[in-house]
Amino acid sequence: MFKGMYHGKQCHAADIPTVLARAWAAGVDRIIVTGGSLKESREALEIAETDGRLFCTVGVHPTRCGEFEESGDPEGHFQALLALAKEGIAKGKVVAVGECGLDYDRLHFCPADVQKKYFEKQFELAEAVKLPMFLHMRAAGEDFCEIMSRNMYRQVLEVVAGCKGIADIEGLSKTIYHNTCRLFFPQDLDASADAQLEGGTTVQDS
């Protein structure tokens, strides 16, 4: 959006320098630029290289997971992500794998079976490069927790960017280590208020 693109339309001129200048002036000292596809991850690395205070992620957002199969070579697409992650790590810029996860609120972008397949595949990426995961979950609590539980042995550290549609926040906390959950829907805030979390940090947008 900081390139002025909204829903495929150019609505205003790119204003990334303005946004960054405002952030630095406000006291922000580091920013992670999030990748949501292979293409965006490359662009995120390019942006991160422009300033010592910028870092980035490499990964595929659940709504974009169709790109693996649309590429015609899912394994080749994965290897390209892996190569990009290694390149960014060598440059001291790539700090996490993601944003990846499950988003059942927007299945019109990518069906659930494809999301699950390539969410799990990205654990392989995180394990290969020994990076934390930057996760996303909307309205997919049961499948999300099941996949997380099955891959616990591969985890380094996780940050969950969004949790919607999960009543068992306490159960979620048992599937991720050193986690931060940002809960931004009223029903999720109600659930988290009753949860007894151990070993995790919950950040709530108000």
Closest CA to 101 of 130, 63, 128, 67: 63
Is 174 exposed, middle or buried, given 0-12, 13-18 or 19+ CB atoms closer than 10 A? Answer: middle
Cβ within 8 Å of residue 124, ≥6 positions away: 78, 154
12 annotated as belonging to a binding site for a ligand: no
- Structure tokens of 172? 């979620």
Q: What does the alpha-carbon distance between residue 140 and residue 77 come to, in Å, rounded to a whole number?
A: 25
CB 49 within 8 Å of CB 101 = no
99 annotated as belonging to a binding site for a ligand: yes
Helix (H, G, I), strand (E, B) or coil at 63: helix
What residue type is assigned to position 131 of the chain?
L
Q: What is the separation of C-alpha 35 from the centre of its chain, rounded to a whole number of angstroms?
A: 8
- Structure tokens of 94? 């790539």
- Structure tokens of 159? 């940050």
In sequence order, the β-bridge partners of residue 104 are none
Question: What are the binding residues for a divalent metal cation?
Answer: 99, 136
Question: What are the binding residues?
Answer: 99, 136
